[in-house]
Every structure is written in structure tokens, then in C-alpha cells.
Amino acid sequence: MQEKSMRPNLFLMSLAKFLSGFAGYIYDIGIVIYLFSQTKSVAVIGGFFISQFLPALIILFTGKLIDTHNQKMLMFLSNLTKAAVFFLLLFEANIVFIYVATFFMNLLLEFESNTTQALMANLFSKGNLFKAASVINLLDSASLILAPVCASVIATNFSIQANLIIDIILYGITGLLYLLLPSGILGNIEKQKEEKKGYASIIKNKRILCTVLFWNFFMLCIGIASPLEISMIEDTLGMSSSWYGIGNTVEGIGMLLASGFVLGIIKKLKPENIILLGLFSAAMSYGVIGTAGNIGMYLLGAGLVGVTSTFCPLGFKTAVQIQSETNLVGRTFTASRFTILITRMIGSLLVGGMLTVWNIRVIYYLLAGFLVVTAVAYYFVNRQKELLH
């Protein structure tokens, strides 16, 4: 792809990511508030998060589809299908159907996440991937600032159907934006031998395996922490559930600031540097939330979570993109995402049992300590790799 075409392609990708992210955040936050208001149960919220991760059991087998088909058309069809799922949810919003709909929604979202990485590898040169990913992440951060406030207002003043109608419209527009990208973004369908080569080359690539291993450590902590947030706000701090949406807005501000930081000094950074910063900021965020005695301290921790939500995913994803062969990016990401989603699901399954042993603050302290150890280990592993090269 010619460098002169980078700007229009980047604009379309960024706008599509913004709208899709906005719709996704509105759904996630609105549904969590809705479920907690109906049940007052952390277990039910945990079930919602688990239903998000189960698609990992299927998504592993979509790598070849992504690598060998028109990726912009795949994105269009996926967004159209999401709109259809929300349309069906309009007529039935009980807990079981929400779980089922969330499963299918996140199956599509995971498919889109992997397809987007392959699409970017085709649209942008490897030298521009980090910059393109940073710009797209910046727009995604902006959507996280706006969406939680909208979701909280909608959830407290309107029925869940209002939330769903907005999502249907946004996913329809997003699908159309992907159709405007250049045609001919295809994998090489004739290279059937690549199917066998794909996963084998991933397993043999020690750099990718190392990156994915630490990505799993990070996602285990995310899986444990995610169901705790609304309980921390309502049960521990005694605040209204609407602060859950405000906390997510503050996370968005943290993401936006972190994205601006990355873009400002991008020439001096490597993905490995960003990952290290992300792991330390994650440890700090959970430490702050664990000690929070008021909503102000909690929001400070939420801002640090936002910084982490930029640094770690951006660093891990870009590292895997750069370390992978271009024609195997789809398969590389499906294999990687399979492992991290399973790990995150395990974290969400563990949290109920952990709460029977420790109180919520102790769990946050344990997460902070584990992430500090992970960050130090990641530093020394990468230091060793640099010395060997």
C-alpha cells in the first residue's frame, strides 16, 4: 500500500474504531448497571464477563478465514450482524438472553479485533504500524470518555432499549465506513500450505511466545479486577452505581492522555517500552483503588487504569504485529487472543472464590504485587534478549 494513501485509510479506520468503540462501551456499561440494579450480585456481573470470554473457544479457528478473505468485507458483515443481534435483544432483555447475546456479540468483537490487526498489516507498512495503532488508539480513548457518561444517563433515565437502538445505528454506520476502504485487501487464497505453517511458526517464534506469555499474566489480573469495580463503588465506598460510568469516563481520560504521550515521543519508544510502562501503571492503579477511602481516590485509580488500557494493549498488539509474518497476522492474533481470553475468563471465574477468602481491598493489593513482579520479570527477560542480539 502506497504511503500517500496512509492518511485517508487511517482516517477511515480511526473513525470506524471510534464509532464501534463508542457503541461497545455504551452496551457494556449500560448492561452492567442494568444487571447490578436488577440483581445486586457480583456473581451475575461475573457471569456477564465470562460470557464475553467464551468466544475464545471458537475464535481460534477463524485465523485462516481472516488471512484468506477480503478483510474490509468481513468487517462490514460483522458490524451488520452485531446490529442484527441488538435488534433481537430489543424484544427480550432477561439475564439469560443477555448472556447469550453477549456471547455472540463478543464472538464478533474478537473476530473483528483479529481482522483489524490483519487489515492494518495490509494497509500500513511495518514502519508505520506503531504510529497508525497509536492514532487509532487515541480515537478509541476519546470514545471511552464520551460513551460511559452517555451510558450512565441512558441507564438511569431510559429503558435498556434506548441503549440498544443507539448501538444498532452506530454499528450500521461503522460497517459502511469499512466499505470505503480500498478494495483488494485480500489474503492469498492460493497459499493453502500456509495453514499448516501458521500455528507452527507461532509456536517456534520465541519472541511472540514471550510477548503472549506476559500478555496472559496481565489479562489474568484484568479478569479478576473487572467484576470487582461496581461492587467496590457501591458496597465498599457506598456510592451510586452511576459512578461506575463516571469511573469509566475517567479511564477514558487516562487513555487519551496516555495515547497523546505515546504519539508525542513515538520515535523514541518501542512496543516493549510501552508494555513495561503499562505493567507498572497497572500495579499502581490497583494499589490506589485498593486503598481508596473515597470516590476521589477511586477515580484517581480509574485514571491509572485508563493509562494501562492504552499502554499494555497497544504495546502487546504492536509487538505481535511486528514480530509476525504479514500473511500470518490473522492466525497469529487468533492464537494469541485465544490464550489471553481463556486466561481472562479464568480470572473472572476465580474472583468469586477469592472474595470468600479475602475482602475486596486485599484482592486489589495482591493484584498490584503480582503486576510489579510481572513488570520486573518482563524487564529482565527483554534485557536478556537485547544482550543476546
**Secondary structure in 3-state letters for 132-163:** HHHHHHHHHHHHHHHHHHHHHHHHHHCCHHHH
Is residue 188 in some structural domain? no
How is residue 92 annotated by DSSP? -
Residue 189: its pLDDT value, please? 43
Residue 187: its pLDDT value, please? 47
Residue 6's identity, in one-letter code, is: M
Is residue 186 in some structural domain? no
Residue 54: its pLDDT value, please? 62
Residue range of the domain that includes 55: 3-181+195-388
Q: Largest alpha-carbon pair distance within the chain? A: 60
Residue 365: its pLDDT value, please? 92
Question: Number of structural domains, the chain?
Answer: 1
User: Residue 372's domain is classified under what CATH number?
Assistant: 1.20.1250.20
Is residue 377 in some structural domain? yes
Residue 190: its pLDDT value, please? 42
Q: CA nearest 69: which of 201, 197, 198, 183?
A: 183
Residue 49: its pLDDT value, please? 61
Is residue 379 in some structural domain? yes
Answer whether 340's CB lies under 8 Å from 212's CB: yes
Rounded Cα–Cα distance for residues 343 and 348 (Å): 9
- pLDDT tens, the chain, 389 aa long: 444 456 777 788 888 888 888 887 777 777 766 666 666 655 665 666 666 566 666 766 666 677 777 888 888 999 999 899 888 888 876 777 777 787 788 788 878 877 887 787 777 776 677 777 777 777 776 776 777 677 777 777 777 788 888 889 999 999 898 888 875 454 444 444 444 444 555 566 778 788 888 999 999 998 888 878 777 877 777 776 667 777 777 887 888 888 777 777 655 678 888 899 999 999 999 999 888 888 888 889 888 988 888 888 888 888 877 777 666 666 777 777 778 878 887 887 787 788 888 888 899 999 999 999 999 999 888 877 665 55
Is residue 70 in some structural domain? yes
Rounded Cα–Cα distance for residues 355 and 306 (Å): 25
Is residue 383 in some structural domain? yes
Q: CA nearest 26: which of 136, 159, 144, 176?
A: 144
Is residue 326 in some structural domain? yes
Rounded Cα–Cα distance for residues 286 and 272 (Å): 22
Cα–Cα distances in Å, from 122 out to 11, 93, 112, 193?
A: 15, 39, 15, 20
Rounded Cα–Cα distance for residues 83 and 17 (Å): 15
Residue 287: its pLDDT value, please? 92
HSE of 249 in the Cβ direction (CA atoms, 13 Å)?
Answer: 13
pTM of this prediction? 0.66
Residues 6+ apart with CB under 8 A from 84: none
- Number of Cβ atoms within 10 Å of the Cβ of 230: 22
Is residue 189 in some structural domain? no
